[in-house]
């Protein structure tokens, strides 16, 4: 896109009209809820199929407003980590000479009679330890070490619970309902609030 456009123009260019329209509609739903409108009023006002869809819209808007600043911070932190990791590799790949107390390089006499400078292994070990810490921190920041959540086979969970979990993970509610209907013991008329068996 060439210059001269507004922020909205740039967003529409890169994200697409439909994505922008959905985000704007979700934001309007959030504002209506904040003004005290109930879910059905929001659904009617904005053309959602049900009050559940209006609730989904507000949840999406809330997740997005919390997620954006966290993503920005995460990106900055990951960039700083990347710079520090590069520095560690520079140290490992270009080791420094071991120095005596007077600051002179320590040398060893080789079998060929030549003197060879000793690498400072302590600096290399410190760089390797730093790399390990950066790796752990990076994995935590990216959520790679997060425990996997499981549900016990005996657990009783409502479709509303499933819907909330799906929304939190970016899965549309319709997909949740379609999947749940296929589970043993669920009727074709499964609706929010029904209990899974």
Query: Quick check: 188 pLDDT over 50?
Result: no
pLDDT band at 9 (very low <50, low <70, confident <90, very high): low
For 106-175, give the DSSP string: PEEE-TTS-EEEPB-HHHHHHHHHHHHHHHHHHHHHHTTTPPPP---TT---BHHHHHHHHHHTT--HHH
More confident site: 163 or 23: 23
The reported pLDDT for the residue numbered 2 is 45
The average confidence (pLDDT) of the chain is: 76
DSSP 195: B
Distance in angstroms (rounded) separating the CA atoms of residues 16 and 60: 18
Query: Quick check: 35 pLDDT over 70?
Result: yes
Using one digit for the tens of pLDDT, what is the confidence trace for 57-77? 888 888 777 776 667 777 888
Report yes or no on whether pTM surpasses 0.85: no
Taking residues 29-35, what's their average pLDDT?
A: 87
More confident site: 156 or 100: 100
More confident site: 153 or 81: 81
Determine how many CB atoms are found less than 10 A away from the CB of residue 173.
21
For 48-99, give the DSSP string: -SSHHHHHHHHHHHHHHHHHHHHHHHHHHHHHHHHHHHHHHHHHHHSPPBPB
Where are the domains positioned within the chain?
A: 10-146, 147-197
Percentage, residues of the chain above pLDDT 70: 62
Using one digit for the tens of pLDDT, what is the confidence trace for 77-95? 888 888 988 998 898 888 7
Strand partners, 151: none
Query: Quick check: 163 pLDDT over 50?
Result: yes
Query: Quick check: 42 pLDDT over 90?
Result: yes
The reported pLDDT for the residue numbered 71 is 73
The reported pLDDT for the residue numbered 123 is 85
């Amino acid at each position: 896109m060439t210059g001269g456009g507004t922020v909205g123009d740039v967003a529409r260019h890169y994200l697409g009209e439909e994505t922008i329209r959905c985000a704007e509609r979700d934001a309007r739903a959030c504002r209506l809820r904040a003004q005290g409108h109930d879910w059905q009023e929001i659904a009617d006002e904005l053309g959602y199929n049900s009050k559940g869809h209006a609730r989904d819209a507000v949840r999406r808007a809330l997740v997005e407003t919390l997620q954006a600043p966290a993503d920005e911070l995460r990106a900055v932190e990951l960039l700083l980590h990347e710079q520090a990791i590069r520095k560690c590799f520079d140290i490992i790949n270009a080791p420094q000479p071991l120095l005596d107390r007077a600051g002179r390089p320590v040398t060893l006499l080789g079998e060929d009679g030549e003197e060879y400078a000793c690498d400072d292994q302590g600096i290399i070990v410190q760089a390797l330890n730093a790399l390990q810490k950066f790796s752990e921190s990076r994995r935590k920041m990216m959520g790679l070490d997060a425990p996997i959540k499981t549900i016990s086979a005996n657990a009783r969970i409502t479709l509303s619970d499933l819907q909330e979990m799906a929304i939190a993970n970016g899965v549309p509610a319709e997909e949740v309902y379609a999947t749940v209907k296929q589970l043993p013991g669920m009727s074709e008329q499964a609706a929010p609030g029904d209990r899974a068996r």
